[in-house]
Amino acid sequence: MTEYDYWKIFPRMPKKVTIGDITIRDGFQHEEIFVSTEAKKFYLEELIFAGCRDIEVTNLGNPHLMPQFRDAEDLLTHLRSDRFKKKCERKGINYGDICLTCITIREKSVERAIALKEKGIGPDRILMMVSTEEEHHFANSGTTLPDYWKECERSIKKCNDAGIKMCGTVSTIWGSPIGGATDMKDAVEFTKRWLEIGAHDVEHADHDGSASAPDVYRYFSMILDEMPDTRLHIAHFHETKRMASASVLAALQAGITNFEATLGGLGGQPANFLDDCPVKGTGEYYYDDPRYVGLVTLEDTLVQIDEMGIEHGYDVDRILWLGKQMERTMGRRLRSEAILNGRTLKEGHPRFARPGLAKRKEKFGEDPKQLLPKEWGEKAVLPEQYRP
pLDDT-derived band at 115, boundaries 50, 70, 90: very high
Q: Which has the higher per-residue pLDDT, 341 or 134? A: 134
Chain CA centroid to CA 57, Å: 14
Domain boundary pick from 309, 324, 341: 341
Q: Is residue 34 included in any domain, yes or no?
A: yes
Query: Cβ–Cβ contacts within 10 Å for residue 53, how many?
Result: 17
Residue-wise DSSP of 110-160: HHHHHHHHHHT---SEEEEEEESSHHHHHHHHSS-HHHHHHHHHHHHHHHH
Q: What is the pLDDT of residue 358?
A: 95
Q: What is the pLDDT of residue 207?
A: 84
Same domain, 99 and 154: yes
* Dist CA 16 CA 311 (whole Å): 4
Residue-wise DSSP of 356-378: THHHHHHHTT--TT--S-TTS-S
Which three-class secondary structure string do you get for 3-57? Answer: CCCHHHHCCCCCCECEEEECHHHHHHHCCCCCCCHHHHHHHHHHHHHCCCCEEEE
Q: What is the pLDDT of residue 1?
A: 62
pLDDT-derived band at 330, boundaries 50, 70, 90: very high
Domain count, the chain: 2
Give the pLDDT mean for 371-381. Answer: 95
Same domain, 372 and 231: no
Give the pLDDT mean for 207-224. Answer: 95
Domain boundary pick from 305, 321, 341: 341
Residues sharing a CB contact under 8 Å with residue 159, sequence separation 6 or more, in sequence order: 110, 113, 114, 126, 165, 166
Residues sharing a CB contact under 8 Å with residue 302, sequence separation 6 or more, in sequence order: 19, 261, 312, 314, 316, 319, 338
Same domain, 191 and 334: yes
Residues sharing a CB contact under 8 Å with residue 94, sequence separation 6 or more, in sequence order: 88
Q: Is residue 1 included in any domain, yes or no?
A: no
Q: Is residue 2 classed as helix, strand or coil in its secondary structure?
A: coil
Q: How many CA atoms lie within 13 A of 356 on its CB side?
A: 2
Q: Is residue 2 included in any domain, yes or no?
A: no
Same domain, 236 and 371: no
With 0-12 CB in 10 A as exposed, 13-18 as middle and 19+ as buried, what is 75? buried
Q: What is the pLDDT of residue 347?
A: 86
Same domain, 301 and 375: no
Q: Is residue 124 included in any domain, yes or no?
A: yes
Please report, rounded to a whole number, the percentage of residues in the chain having pLDDT higher than 70.
100
Q: Is residue 250 included in any domain, yes or no?
A: yes
Q: What is the pLDDT of residue 109?
A: 97
Q: What is the pLDDT of residue 349?
A: 84
Same domain, 237 and 365: no
CATH number of 319's domain? 3.20.20.70
Q: Is residue 258 included in any domain, yes or no?
A: yes
The boundaries of the domain holding residue 76 are 13-341
Same domain, 61 and 28: yes
Span 9-24, pLDDT tens digits = 999 999 999 999 999 9
Q: Is residue 99 classed as helix, strand or coil in its secondary structure?
A: strand
Q: What angle do CA 284, 236, 121 make, to 5 degrees?
A: 85
Q: Is residue 61 included in any domain, yes or no?
A: yes
Same domain, 99 and 126: yes
Q: What is the pLDDT of residue 291?
A: 76
Give the pLDDT mean for 195-210. Answer: 94
* Dist CA 26 CA 21 (whole Å): 9
